[in-house]
């Protein structure tokens, strides 16, 4: 037992000696949460536009003012002819051109109808769609005020309630995702690389001939990473709670227990990878492409799974982070208990056992 304690101590020294990696390990979750919280938002604001006003009368000025004072748009250029439009788009700074037809106010007064043309730079299709919707919304709003004497008949009024997230905060989405990503990164990637490193350097042989049993070696290797991962998980929960006001509606004990289950799963995956990979480079590439990209893309972290083609949806079903993210959302946000997540929990536990069994099998054959 004393030898084992010594071995664990050695592993901790190994990790803490490498200050740069340590720094990144602890800075990564914080930086990621802050970036997701403040930078990658869906706020719609400060879109640069140009206006081609062929009429220049009171009404067009009023509409222009209304559009610019909405906070969504910034006037970049006042164009004077249609020839300038293409060049303005190609320069890349503007995303929309609003064109008022000649005699706009006169037409609106006499014929009761006038024309506005919106040209959007649709190379970014989603944003273009939003820009056109927002602009039309503002123009219709102006029109509504102009027509306010006439009451609209038979209004259907939809009352919308955003369940679980009244104020539509982005944190509800990215805190669970970041947790899955960071735990996967540290547990699986670090473990697999550090074991592969011992193999590559030949020091694994030294460990194997020591009086420690192979199981003890593996356990000793992973214990420091369990500690680091767990610290990071707690950091992320605290950051989400204190900085972004993400509630923890369910039981904290269940939340932490599920986190530990996922850490164990990632570790067993890491061990499995290290038994397959012969050196660090291979271990890294397997971790990168089999773990990180899927965790980011195929787990429902950023992009909703339902929108993907069927083949990718099938891939999503075998990705452990998917289930962990579902569990986190249930426990943290919806405040439900084990009742709602027992299926996902069982899947994670089953996967852990499978990976462990596979790596034990692989490990033995390697020793013979």
54 interacts with another protein by CB under 8 A = no
Q: How far apart are CA 185 and CA 329, in angstroms?
A: 20
Q: In what order do the strands lie in the sheet with 96-100?
A: 73-79, 47-53, 96-100
Q: Is 40 helix (H, G, I), strand (E, B) or coil?
A: coil
Q: Which is nearer to another protein, 312 or 357 (CB)?
A: 312
Which range in 30-38, 205-213, 225-233, 255-263 contacts another protein by CB under 8 A?
Answer: 30-38
Q: Is 105 exposed, middle or buried (0-12, 13-18, 19+ CB in 10 A)?
A: middle
The stretch among 2-10, 225-233, 239-247, 284-292 that binds another protein (CB under 8 A) is 284-292
State how far the Cα of 368 lies from the Cα of 239, in Å rounded to an integer: 48
Choose among 24, 8, 31: nearest CA to 189. 24
195 binds another protein (CB under 8 A): no
For position 324 contacting another protein by CB under 8 A, the verdict is: no
CB 236 within 8 A of CB 182: yes
CB of 251 to another protein, least distance (A): 16
Nearer to another protein, 322 or 356 (CB): 322
Q: Is 27 in the site for another protein (CB under 8 A)?
A: yes
Nearest CA to 134 out of 62, 45, 64 is that of: 45
> Is residue 48 within the footprint of another protein (CB under 8 A)?
yes
Establish if 203 lies at the interface with another protein (CB under 8 A): no
Site for another protein in 99-158 (CB under 8 A): 108, 112-129, 132-133, 135-136, 139-140, 143, 146-147, 150-158
Q: Tell me the site size for another protein, rule CB under 8 A.
A: 105
Please say whether the beta carbons of 87 and 114 come within 8 A: no
The answer to whether residue 20 forms part of the interface with another protein (CB under 8 A) is: yes
Q: Which residues pair with 42 in a beta bridge?
A: none
Which two three-digit tokens encode residue 42? 């869906």
Q: Which is nearer to another protein, 280 or 345 (CB)?
A: 280
Site for another protein in 207-266 (CB under 8 A): none
List 207, 276, 282, 297, residue binding another protein (CB under 8 A):
297
**SS3 call for 246:** coil
- The position carrying tokens 């788009």 is 89
- Which of positions 58-97 make contact with another protein (CB under 8 A)? 89-92
Residue indicated by tokens 């709670």: 241
Stretch of 26-34, 222-230, 233-241, 253-261 contacting another protein, by CB under 8 A? 26-34
Using CB under 8 A as the binding rule, whether residue 43 contacts another protein is answered as: yes
By three-state DSSP, how is residue 346 classified? Answer: helix
Residue placing its CB nearer to another protein in the complex, 41 or 210? 41
Among 31, 252, 346, 349, binds another protein (CB under 8 A): 31
* Tokens (6 digits) for 344: 């996902």
Q: From CA 277, how far away is CA 285, in angstroms rounded?
A: 10
Nearer to another protein, 189 or 356 (CB): 189
């Amino acid at each position: 037992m004393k030898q084992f304690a010594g071995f664990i101590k050695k592993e901790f020294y190994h990790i803490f000696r490498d200050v740069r990696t340590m720094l990144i390990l602890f800075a990564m979750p914080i930086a990621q949460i802050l970036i997701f919280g403040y930078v990658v938002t869906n706020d719609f604001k400060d879109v640069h536009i140009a206006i081609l006003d062929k009429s220049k009368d009171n009404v067009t000025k009023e509409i222009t003012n209304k559009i610019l004072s909405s906070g969504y748009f910034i006037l970049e250029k006042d164009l004077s002819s249609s020839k300038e439009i293409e060049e303005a788009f190609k320069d890349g700074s503007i995303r929309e051109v609003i064109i008022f037809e000649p005699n706009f106010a006169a037409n609106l007064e006499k014929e009761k109808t006038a024309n506005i043309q919106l040209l959007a730079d649709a190379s970014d299709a989603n944003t273009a769609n939003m820009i056109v919707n927002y602009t039309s919304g503002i123009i219709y709003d102006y029109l509504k005020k102009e027509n306010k004497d006439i009451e609209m008949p038979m209004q259907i009024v939809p009352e919308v309630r955003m369940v679980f997230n009244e104020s539509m905060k982005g944190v509800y989405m990215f805190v669970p995702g970041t947790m899955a990503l960071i735990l996967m990164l540290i547990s699986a990637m670090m473990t697999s690389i550090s074991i592969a490193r011992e193999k590559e350097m030949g020091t694994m042989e030294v460990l194997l001939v020591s009086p420690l049993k192979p199981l003890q070696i593996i356990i000793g290797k992973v214990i420091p990473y369990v500690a680091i991962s767990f610290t990071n998980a707690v950091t992320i929960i605290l950051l989400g709670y204190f900085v972004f006001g993400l509630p923890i509606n369910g039981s904290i004990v269940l939340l932490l227990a599920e986190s530990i289950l996922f850490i164990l799963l990632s570790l067993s995956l890491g061990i499995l990878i290290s038994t397959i990979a012969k050196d660090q480079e291979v271990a890294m590439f397997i971790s990168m492409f089999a773990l990180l990209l899927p965790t980011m893309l195929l787990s429902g972290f950023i992009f909703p799974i339902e929108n993907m083609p069927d083949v990718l949806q099938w891939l999503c079903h075998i990705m452990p982070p998917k289930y962990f993210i579902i569990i986190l959302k249930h426990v943290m946000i919806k405040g439900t208990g084990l009742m709602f997540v027992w299926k996902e929990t069982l899947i994670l536990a089953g996967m852990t056992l499978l990976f462990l069994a596979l790596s034990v099998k692989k490990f033995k054959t390697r020793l013979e």
